[in-house]
Amino acid sequence: MRRLFLSAALPLVLAACATTQPEIAATAPPAASTAPAKPAPLSQLVDAVDIPYQSFTLPNGLTVLVHTDRKTPVVGVTTYYRVGSKNEPRGKTGFAHLYEHLFFGGSENVPNFDIPLEGAGSTSTNGSTWYDRTNYVETVPTGALDLTLFMESDRMGHLLGAVTQDKLDKQRGVVQNEKRLGDNQPYGLTEYLIGDALFPVGHPYRHSTIGSMADLDAATLSDVRQWYIDNYGPNNAILALTGDIDAATARPLVEKWFGDIPRGPEITEPTSPIVTLDAPKRQVITDQVPATKIFKVWSGPGLNAPDAAALDAGMTVLGGLASSRLDNILVRDEQLAVSVSAYAQQFEDASLLQAEMVVKPGVDEALAERRLGEVIDQLVADGPTGDELLRAATRSVSAEIGALEVVGDMGGKGATLAEGLLYSGDPAHYKKALEETATLTPAQVRAALAKWLGRPAYTLVVEPGERTLDGADLGGWGDEGSVAPPPPDPKTPAPPVAEGPAREAPPVAPVADLTFPAVRHATLSNGIPVSLATRTAIPKVSVSLDFDAGYAADGNARAGTQSLMMDLLKEGTTSRSAVEIAEEQERLGASIETGTSLDSSRVSMTALTANLAPSLTLMADIARHPKFAADDVARVRDQRLAAIQQQQATPTTLAQRALKPLIYGAAHPYGSVGSAGRTSVVEGLTPADLSTAHETWLRPDLAQITVVGDITMDRLLPLLEQAFGNWQAPATPAPTKDLSVAVPPAKQRMVVIDRPGAPQSMIMMGHVLPVEGTAPSLESLDLANQVIGGGFLSRLNMDLREDKGWTYYAYSSVSSTKGPLMATAYSPVQTDKTGEAIKAMLADMRAFPAGKRVDQVELQRVTDGNVRGLPNSFQTNSQVLGGILDNQLLGRPDNYYSTLPAVYGAMDAAAIDTAAAKYLQPDDMVIVVVGDRKEIDSQLADLGIPIEYREASEF
C-alpha cells in the first residue's frame, strides 16, 4: 500500500443546498404502519445489487469500463495492471510494490502526481499492490477528469525519463519503513511464516508482497525501468471510469490521452499449482505479544474454482459471523479464547483458508488448540445449517449493497468491475458470485470443506516472550543463502531512457453546483430529538442513537466503565441472548455497533430499508434493556483486559494511551488513557457497576437520533416512536461532564517507553490548545494543520517520508471535541533515525510560519482544493451522517458545510500563518517515544529535552 492514511483533511460534508425543515412532533403510529417482522427474501436483496456498464477497447489493448452514476458530480478513475508480487522472480521480491511507490514520483510531463490532483479536488489518490495486481485510484470532480486522464496516461506512456536513482533510493527507504512498521506490530511476522510453510520455494504465492530487505536493497535503476517496460503497457491494464460520466463522453477523452501509447510485451502468467502438505506442520515461536495466538491454515483453490463460493461461506460460518461456530463455542460457551476469526482469503489462483484464536490468559494452550481443531472438524463433518448459510449470504449481499454508494476508491464500483474482468473475465462476476452464494446448500458447503480442510494443515503458535526472529530476514524467495541468484543476462541491456514529446496538462473545469439532502427535524413523544437526511441512492438506512456521555464521562478514576458497559449491550438483553442478537441482525442484513468516542456513547446501525422496522426493534432492545448477566460481564471483562494488553503491546496505541493523561492531567475528563480504560479499573467492574452506568448515562433526556438514508420522515417517525417513544427518563437529574477543569501548564518534556528490539520508534507529541471545539471560526486552524501535517503533501510527510525516507508516514492532527482541543504530530521512524526525526519534526513545526510561510501552492491546495473535493466527502450515507453528527456535537448549524466554499474562498495565507503561530508551535509539547531504549538513549540525550522513563503498564 502506498499510504497508510489518505488525506487528513477535515471530514467535510457539503450542504450547499441544505435547508433546515421545521421541527415536528411524533404521534403514536397506527398498527398498520408497522413493518412485517420477517426479513425481506434474499433473492430480493440480490436483485438490488447491480452495476450496469459499457466497455470498449483501444487498438493498443487498453480495456475501458464505464458505469454512469449521476448522484454526485464526481468520477472514480480506477486503473488495474495485471502485475503483482506473484510475478516477481527470485531476487526481486517486493519489487511490484516498490514500483507502485515510484509510480507516484512524477512522469515526464507531471513533476508531482499529487499536487495537481489534490489541488483539483481529488480526495482519494492512492495505490496498492497485492499478489495478482497493482491498482491506482483517484476520485475527482467531474471537471478534473480530463486532467486526471492526462496524468494517468502520462504515467502509463511517458514515465521513464522521470525515474531517477534519487527517487528510487528515497522510495526504497519508505517501503523498507513500511515493512518495519508491519513487522513491529504484535504477531507482525506471521504472514511470512504462513507463506513459507504452505508453499514451496518458487511458488508465486509463497513470498510476501512487501518482500525481503535484501531484495529491496538490491533493486537497481535498470530493474525499475525494465519492470515498467515489461508490465505497464496498455494491453496489460484496465481503466474503469465510474460516476458522473458516460461511454459517449469517455471514449474520445480516453482515445485522446491513451490512444498513442504503444502496446507492451504480452504477459506470461506464472504457474500457480495447488499445493497440499504431505503431513501436518506445527511451529511455535515467541514474540512480544500479550497473549498466545494460534493460527490453523490450509492453502486452497483460487477465486474462480468451483468450490470458491462454498469455501468462503463455510469459513464465514466457522469464524466470520458474530454468531460463528468459533465465537459461540470457544469465546462464549467454553471461554477458552478472547477473540476468534476465520476466513477464506481468495486470490486469483490460490487461497488461504485460515482460522485464528487468541487464547484467554490462564487457559491451557494445549486444550485451546485441541478444541479449535475439534470445532473445525465438527463443521467439516456435519456442514453448516441452512440458517447459518442464510445469515452468511445475507451479510455478504448487504455489504455489497453498501458498496454501491462509492463510485471509486479501493472498494468502490470501479474496483468491483475491474477485478471481475481481471480475475474472472467478466466485469459482472460480482453478481454471479452473489447469486451462487445465495443458492448454496449445506451439502455443497460440507463437501467443499471436507475436500479442502480435510487435508493436512499448518499450525502456528505465537507465545509471549522474546522475539527470536527478525522480520528483515523474512518475506523473500525462501532459498536465500542456499541457492545463488541467477547471473544477469548479458544479452539484456539496461532499458533506454527516451523521453517522448512534451504534453500540456488540460485545465480543470469549474466545479458544478453541489447539493446535500435537506436535514429535517422532529421530536418523539418522550422528547428525543430526531434528525433525518433522506438519500435514495441505495436501499439502506444508517441510524445513530447518541448519548451525551462518552469515555469522558468516566474520567480517569473510572476509565473503561462507559465503553465496557456499551460493549455489554450486545451480549444479552432481558429478552435475547448474545447469540440470538447476533443471529437476528445477520438474518436482517443489519449491522449494529455499540461504542464510545470521547464525547458520545453511541448505538449505531446500518439496515436494509426493507428490514428497517424489525432492525429498529432489535436496536432499541439492545440500547434499552441490557441484562448485564454475571457470566457475560466476566467474559467480556476478560476480553477487555486482553485488549488493553494488546494496546500496550502495539507502539501506536501505547503512545496514544500515554499522551492524553500527560497533557490533560488526571483531573480533566479528557485525561484518560482512552476508551478501553485502565486494567486496575476494568478488573473491578461488576454487573451492578455497569447497570448503574447504563441507568445514569443512557437515558432519553441525554439522547438524540440521527438518520440518513432511504426513508422519509413520515415513514420513519412511527417506527422510531414504536421503538423508543415509551422510553421515559428517570426522575433523577441528568448528569453532566465538567470540561472546564484546568489542565496542567504546558511544558516540553519527553517520556520514553522501552520496547526492546523494535525496528522502529513511534514518536507522538502533543499539547492542549487554549480553545474548545465549539468555538467559532476554527477553519484557519484546520487549514494550518493540513499544511503542516494533515495530509500526504503536508510538510512533515514530505520531509520525513518523501525527502528523507525515514518513515512510512508523518502526520499531525487537531482533535474534534466539544471541550479543549488537542494538537498532535506523530511518525513511526526507523530506530537509527529517532533523534534526528524528532529534531526534524520540531524544526518543521517551528518554521511554520517563522521561517516558511504558507506558499501559494499550499494555499490553493487547502482552500480551492478542499472546495473542489467536497463532493467526494458525502458519497455515502455514513459520510453524510458523520457530518451531521459533527455539526450537532460542535453546535454548528445544519448549513455549516454550505458556508465552507465562501469561508475558504476568503481565507488568505496570513490567517493560516497566524493560526499556526498561535496553536501549532511545538516547544511546549510533551513527546512520547516508544522504542528500543538501548538503541535510542544516546540519540535522545543529544536533544537537550528533559527525559523520564515509564513502563507500558502505567498507561
Q: DSSP readout, 515-542?
A: ----EEEEE-TTS-EEEEEE--SSSEEE
Rounded CA-CA distance 916/918 in Å is 5
Helices (H) and strands (E) in the chain, counts: 33, 24
Rounded CA-CA distance 278/261 in Å is 48
Asked whether the beta carbons of 346 and 271 are under 8 A apart, the reply is no
**Taking 70 as the threshold, does the pLDDT of residue 751 lie above it?**
yes
Rounded CA-CA distance 100/97 in Å is 5
What is the band of 20 on the pLDDT scale with cuts at 50, 70, 90? very low
What average pLDDT does range 186-195 have in this prediction? 97
Rounded CA-CA distance 12/52 in Å is 29
Q: Which residue has the cell 517486493?
A: 94
Angle between helices 561-568 and 630-649 (to 10 degrees): 130
Mean pLDDT for the chain?
A: 92
**Taking 50 as the threshold, does the pLDDT of residue 8 lie above it?**
no
Rounded CA-CA distance 943/842 in Å is 11
Burial per residue of 569-584, b for 16 or more beta-carbon CB atoms within 10 angstroms, e otherwise: bbbbbeebebbebbbb
φ/ψ of residue 350, rounded to 5:
-160, 175
Can you spell out the DSSP letters for 606-663?
Answer: EEEGGGHHHHHHHHHHHHH-B---HHHHHHHHHHHHHHHHHHHHSHHHHHHHHHHHHH
What average pLDDT does range 816-831 have in this prediction? 97
- Does the CA dihedral 289-290-291-294 come out positive or negative? negative
Burial (CB count within 10 angstroms: exposed 0-12, middle 13-18, buried 19+), residue 111: exposed
pLDDT at 500: 76
306-344 residue pLDDT tens: 999 999 999 999 999 999 999 999 999 999 999 999 999
What average pLDDT does range 378-397 have in this prediction? 95
**Taking 90 as the threshold, does the pLDDT of residue 35 lie above it?**
no
What is the band of 487 on the pLDDT scale with cuts at 50, 70, 90? low
What is the band of 490 on the pLDDT scale with cuts at 50, 70, 90? very low
From 493-502, 729-738, 880-889, the region with the lowest mean pLDDT: 493-502
278-283: long-range pairs with CB below 8 Å, 24+: 278/456, 279/456, 280/456, 280/457, 280/458, 280/459, 281/197, 281/456, 281/457, 281/458, 281/459, 282/458, 282/459, 282/460, 282/461, 283/193, 283/197, 283/458, 283/459, 283/460, 283/461
Rounded CA-CA distance 795/861 in Å is 13
- Does the CA dihedral 238-243-248-253 come out positive or negative? negative
Strand ranges for 733-799 from DSSP E: 749-754, 760-772
pLDDT at 494: 57
Q: ω into residue 490 within 30 of 0, thus cis?
A: no
Integer CA distances (angstroms), 475 to 196, 217, 625, 670, 927, in order: 8, 13, 50, 42, 33
What is the band of 421 on the pLDDT scale with cuts at 50, 70, 90? very high
496-531 residue pLDDT tens: 677 778 899 999 988 766 677 899 999 999 999 999
Percent with pLDDT over 70 in the chain:
94
Rounded CA-CA distance 135/80 in Å is 4
Asked whether the beta carbons of 541 and 711 are under 8 A apart, the reply is yes
Say what the pTM is: 0.92
pLDDT at 479: 76
What is the band of 282 on the pLDDT scale with cuts at 50, 70, 90? very high
pLDDT at 37: 53
pLDDT at 7: 31
pLDDT at 949: 97
Asked whether the beta carbons of 415 and 472 are under 8 A apart, the reply is no
Three-class DSSP category at 300:
strand
- Does the CA dihedral 556-557-560-561 come out positive or negative? negative
Asked whether the beta carbons of 276 and 299 are under 8 A apart, the reply is yes
Specify the DSSP element, H or E, that contains 697.
helix 687-697
β-pair partners for 656: none
Burial (CB count within 10 angstroms: exposed 0-12, middle 13-18, buried 19+), residue 742: exposed
